[in-house]
């Protein structure tokens, strides 16, 4: 039942392409971006994908749940695409240009993009959609990301201009597929339109909604008018929602589902022996972390936070939580480490170092012991074993760890109201350091500062990093920020878990995107059986 709390991860993929802004994209065909080219791919056929997480709703503008993003990326598209290698590539835009002062972006739009239902997409639709999503009054969780956009202007039917209030090196990555997407102009004028998205899709993507039966299944049908004729090979994709990881394994074995991304990567060991199945690992941009709320009294002293960081043995916790199916990290999700991460050996407070941790606890005046409560979330399977392992690791430094399991809704409520305490977290980012750090760690009111860090120097670095467009300089700024983060310990990033995809051997050419979103299904196909 593992769910991603919220996914904003991305970064450098395995391909190892250089990061940085590409100002003239559009030459590459989209299929190479969604997945690898499908050599001799067969058209037609159906695919059943098993999933444990179910989207509460399919509205990409207002519903922030990761389970929603996973599937709506097949139906709705933004101007850009979050390439697996960590760059923003043109999607509904054909090309883009940035003015000298770094404040004006001009987008040339794809001319053959058509909405589900047949109406061609124009610049007015793009302006409408982004104006809608960035207006906080419209209630989109993505609104904050677009705060630097000052004005969107239609230059002609196929050209749109965005003017910024200040340079924002992360803008192109913001225009990707997490929130919103381009929908027909005026779509939301009708109050009931939001709800209708659960019955009918109105995007430009390769698949359109056929039927959504909550607590049961979701069926997508190929969009016959899709603008990239090489994409969208399957006739039909059905997501079946299963109750737990064990029934997923049963369903895979028995062939009742053709493919699934394991919610618990270590479950791969339970089906290794199945001859009809193929197991593959893909890197991911998520992070499992321990968050430390500085307003939570026991964690207020810096020494205590540093002692905890030094006492934690990330490898052991990962082993207990997800087996060996992940990568221990420092201050950057594994997939973004190469492009943006500070070298782990240069980071302070990386353990385990019990002697120093104990010293710090003594210095903080807690030689006699300290009681701390860790919050975990019901339904996140990795958290239970991780919590008991963490409790064992903190015992030697005199911390008595109580575990408090709460419902996801309660947890999010605490998190958003900045009362998270000491908690596990499970989140991601689009592959840009500003999108990763800014909202979470910049002090208020610009950032949300969920952990009550309220750090001046750190916030300054985040401001500088967002404005800097030179990739090398930008990287240096973020390395410095990460050192600050590791020094101050408002969070302890533990590990990124791999995406483990199990599929029947008839499924071909599926590549799982590092976000965990199902972009790859647009290019997958099935062998005739």
Strand order in the sheet with 149-156: 93-98, 104-109, 159-164, 149-156
Question: Least distance in Å: CB of 343 to another protein?
Answer: 27
Considering the rule CB under 8 A, would residue 243 count as an interface residue with another protein?
yes
- The nearer residue to another protein, 37 or 56, going by C-beta atoms, is 56
Question: Least distance in Å: CB of 169 to another protein?
Answer: 19
Pairing of strands 217-222, 236-241: antiparallel
- Judged by CB under 8 A, the chain residues 291 through 330 that form the site for another protein are 316, 319-320
The token duo for 47 is 């695919």
List, as own/partner pairs, every contact residues 474-480 make where C-beta atoms lie below 8 angstroms and the sequence separation is at least 24, other chains included: 474/169, 474/433, 475/339, 475/340, 478/340, 478/342, 478/433, 478/437, 479/341, 479/342
- Judged by CB under 8 A, the chain residues 123 through 182 that form the site for another protein are 136-145, 179
Show the DSSP H helices in 264-333 as ranges: 268-271, 302-311, 314-322
Question: Least distance in Å: CB of 118 to another protein?
Answer: 24
Using alpha carbons only, give the angle 207, 431, 96 rounded to the nearest 5 degrees.
Answer: 70
By CB under 8 A, name the one of 222, 440, 451, 475 that touches another protein: 440
- The nearer residue to another protein, 162 or 257, going by C-beta atoms, is 257
- Judged by CB under 8 A, the chain residues 354 through 383 that form the site for another protein are 376, 378-379, 381
Determine the longest span between alpha carbons in the chain, in angstroms: 71
Q: Give 280's strand partners.
A: 501
Considering the rule CB under 8 A, would residue 396 count as an interface residue with another protein?
no
By CB under 8 A, name the one of 338, 392, 460, 480 that touches another protein: 392
- The nearer residue to another protein, 15 or 192, going by C-beta atoms, is 192
> How far is 357 from 376, CA to CA, in rounded Å?
24
Stretch that binds another protein, among 13-21, 122-130, 206-214, 472-480 (CB under 8 A): 206-214
Stretch that binds another protein, among 16-24, 227-235, 439-447, 478-486 (CB under 8 A): 439-447
Question: Least distance in Å: CB of 136 to another protein?
Answer: 4
- The nearer residue to another protein, 251 or 300, going by C-beta atoms, is 251
What is the helix (H) or strand (E) element at residue 360, kind and residue range? Answer: helix 354-363
Question: Least distance in Å: CB of 140 to another protein?
Answer: 7
8 Å CB contact between 512 and 520: yes
> How far is 183 from 204, CA to CA, in rounded Å?
8
Considering the rule CB under 8 A, would residue 236 count as an interface residue with another protein?
no
- The nearer residue to another protein, 390 or 479, going by C-beta atoms, is 390
- Judged by CB under 8 A, the chain residues 456 through 515 that form the site for another protein are none
- Judged by CB under 8 A, the chain residues 7 through 36 that form the site for another protein are 8
Reading phi first (left if > 0) and then psi (alpha if -120 to 50, else beta), residue 452 is in left
Number of residues that bind another protein (CB under 8 A): 92
Considering the rule CB under 8 A, would residue 260 count as an interface residue with another protein?
no
Considering the rule CB under 8 A, would residue 516 count as an interface residue with another protein?
no
């Amino acid at each position: 039942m593992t769910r991603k709390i919220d996914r904003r991860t991305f970064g450098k993929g395995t391909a190892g392409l250089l990061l940085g802004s590409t100002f003239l994209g559009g030459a590459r065909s989209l299929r190479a971006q969604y997945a690898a080219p499908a050599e001799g791919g067969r058209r037609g056929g159906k695919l059943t994908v098993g999933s444990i997480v179910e989207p509460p709703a399919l509205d990409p503008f207002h519903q922030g749940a990761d389970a929603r993003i996973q599937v709506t990326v097949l139906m709705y598209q933004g101007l850009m695409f979050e390439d697996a290698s960590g760059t923003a590539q043109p999607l509904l835009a054909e090309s883009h240009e940035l003015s000298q002062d770094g404040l004006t972006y001009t987008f040339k739009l794809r001319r053959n993009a058509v909405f589900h239902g047949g109406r061609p997409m124009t610049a007015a639709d793009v302006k409408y959609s982004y104006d809608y999503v960035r207006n906080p009054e419209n209630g989109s969780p993505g609104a904050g990301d677009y705060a630097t956009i000052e004005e969107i202007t239609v230059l002609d039917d196929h050209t749109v201009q965005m003017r910024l209030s200040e340079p924002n090196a992360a803008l192109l990555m913001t225009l990707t597929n997490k929130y919103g997407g381009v929908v027909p102009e005026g779509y939301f004028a009708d109050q009931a339109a939001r709800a209708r998205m659960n019955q009918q899709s109105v995007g430009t993507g390769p698949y359109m909604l056929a039927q959504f039966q909550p607590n049961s299944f979701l069926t997508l049908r190929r969009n016959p008018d899709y603008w990239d004729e090489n994409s969208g090979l399957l006739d039909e994709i059905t997501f079946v929602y299963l109750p737990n990881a064990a029934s997923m394994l049963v369903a895979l074995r028995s062939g009742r589902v053709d493919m699934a991304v394991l919610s618990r990567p270590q479950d791969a060991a339970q089906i290794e022996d199945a001859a009809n199945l193929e197991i593959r690992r893909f890197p991911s941009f998520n992070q499992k972390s321990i968050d430390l709320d500085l307003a939570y009294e026991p964690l207020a002293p810096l020494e205590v936070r540093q002692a905890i960081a030094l006492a934690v043995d990330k490898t052991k916790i990962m082993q207990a939580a997800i087996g060996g199916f992940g990568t221990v990290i420092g201050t950057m999700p594994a997939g973004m480490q190469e492009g943006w991460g500070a070298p782990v050996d240069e980071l302070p407070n990386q353990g385990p170092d019990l002697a120093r941790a104990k010293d710090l606890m003594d210095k903080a005046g807690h030689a006699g012991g300290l009681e701390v409560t860790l919050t975990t979330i019901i339904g996140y399977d990795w958290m239970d074993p991780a919590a008991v392992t963490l409790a064992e690791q903190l015992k030697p430094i005199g911390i008595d760890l109580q575990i408090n399991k709460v419902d996801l809704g309660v947890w999010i409520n605490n998190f958003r109201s900045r009362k998270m305490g000491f908690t596990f977290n499970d989140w991601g980012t689009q592959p840009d350091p500003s999108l990763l750090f800014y909202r979470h760690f910049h002090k208020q009111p610009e950032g949300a500062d969920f952990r009550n860090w309220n750090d001046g120097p750190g916030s300054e670095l985040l401001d500088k990093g967002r404005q800097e467009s030179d990739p090398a300089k930008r990287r240096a700024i973020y390395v410095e920020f990460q050192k600050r983060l590791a020094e101050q310990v408002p969070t302890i990033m533990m590990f990124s878990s791999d995406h483990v995809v199990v599929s029947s051997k008839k499924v071909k050419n599926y590549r799982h995107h590092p976000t965990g979103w199902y972009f790859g299904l647009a290019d997958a196909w099935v062998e005739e059986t």
